[in-house]
């Protein structure tokens, strides 16, 4: 793996596996665009990267429950760099546990669908100009083995909400978006892959869900880094990984009609249509 000199945006990189990924990439000499909601944690990571003396970083705050904030983040990224080598869409929220109640984003959408999927969809679309300026850029969407087919008659889960279903639906949407991107671009220019990094990592998200961790953030980070910068995956695109191994997603991810419906809905909800 070689990230030296690469410009890499890691969303959700002030905590958990995203933080570890950002640290590893900086240690390899990358320039990291750190994203998160907490300015204090962002500054801490920024100082750590600078103290390491190998990579460099800048902190760009944004709340992914607001599409306006996502647009502002994209603008900040464009101001910071003239190209982007890797985009790692890692930011997200968990199921909230068995007692989770339905919440809505600042734009009025079901919160997990908005934060875990729509924010990354919009950000990626807004940054494609930076990603396509060179050759061999990569998009990595951090998804999950927890997937549930989207009910297009109740995408916002107004009638049948559970936190687990909301989370699983948002994660499948990420995978469907990944497969669409892979078909859209020549892999010599941009590749798009997604993964389940590790099962129940020791993260804030997992602990808040009331689950006992089964794996480490280091394991998850290794899998994400593999898709982000491994030379063995040059020109590999449209793949779903379970950790370090290629895998299969929910059948709906391979349904062209379902992906088209999701794409059109997403364009409308994000104001890109």
Structural domain of 48: 7-269
Region 209-238: what's the mean pLDDT?
A: 90
Residue 213 predicted with pLDDT over 90 = no
pLDDT band at 85 (very low <50, low <70, confident <90, very high): very high
pLDDT digits (tens, 9 = 90+) for 179-212: 999 999 999 999 999 999 988 776 766 666 667 7
b/e string for 192-222 if b means 16 or more Cβ within 10 A?
bbbbbbbbebbbebbeebeeeeebebebbbb
On whether residue 2 sits in a domain, the answer given is no
pLDDT of residue 10: 98
Region 132-140: what's the mean pLDDT?
A: 95
Residue 218 predicted with pLDDT over 90 = yes
- For the chain, the residue count is 273
pLDDT of residue 96: 87
Q: Which of 47-56, 115-124, 202-211, 259-268 has the lowest mean pLDDT?
A: 202-211
Q: Which of 136, 237, 184, 12 is nearest to 32 (CA)?
A: 12
On whether residue 53 sits in a domain, the answer given is yes
Residue 163 predicted with pLDDT over 80 = yes
Q: How many domains does the chain have?
A: 1
Q: Which of 152, 249, 240, 133 is nearest to 192 (CA)?
A: 240
pLDDT of residue 197: 95
On whether residue 76 sits in a domain, the answer given is yes
Residue 99 predicted with pLDDT over 80 = no
Q: Show Cβ contacts of residue 249 under 8 Å, excluding neighbours closer than 6 positions.
A: 143, 147, 172, 175, 194, 240
| Cα→Cα distances 19→68, 110, 115, 161, 224, Å | 24, 26, 18, 31, 12
Residue bearing the bigger pLDDT, 115 or 213:
115
Enumerate the active-site residues. Answer: 167
CATH number of residue 172's parent domain: 3.40.50.720
């Amino acid at each position: 793996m070689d990230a030296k000199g690469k410009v890499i945006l890691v969303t959700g990189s002030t905590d958990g596996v995203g933080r570890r990924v950002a640290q590893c990439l900086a240690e390899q000499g990358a320039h990291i665009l750190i994203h998160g909601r907490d300015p204090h944690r962002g500054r801490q990571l920024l100082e750590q990267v600078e103290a390491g003396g190998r990579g460099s970083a800048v902190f760009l705050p944004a709340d992914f429950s607001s599409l306006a904030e996502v647009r502002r983040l994209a603008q900040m990224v464009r101001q910071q760099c003239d190209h982007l080598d890797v985009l790692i869409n890692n930011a997200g929220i968990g199921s909230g546990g068995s007692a989770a109640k339905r919440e809505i984003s600042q734009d009025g959408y079901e919160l997990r669908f908005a934060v875990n999927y729509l924010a990354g969809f919009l950000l990626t679309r807004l940054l494609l100009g930076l990603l396509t300026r060179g050759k061999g850029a990569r998009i990595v969407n951090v998804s999950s083995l927890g997937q549930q087919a989207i009910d297009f008659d109740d995408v916002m889960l107004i009638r049948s909400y559970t936190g687990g279903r909301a989370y699983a639906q948002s994660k499948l949407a990420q995978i469907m978006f990944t497969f669409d991107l892979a078909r859209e671009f020549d892999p010599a220019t941009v590749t798009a892959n997604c993964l389940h990094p590790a099962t129940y990592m020791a993260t804030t998200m997992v602990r808040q869900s009331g689950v006992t961790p089964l794996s480490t953030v280091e394991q998850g980070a290794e899998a994400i880094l593999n898709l982000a910068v491994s030379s063995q995956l040059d020109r590999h695109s449209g793949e779903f990984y379970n950790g370090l191994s290629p895998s299969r997603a929910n059948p709906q991810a391979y349904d062209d009609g379902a992906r088209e419906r999701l794409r059109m809905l997403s364009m409308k909800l994000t104001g890109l249509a």
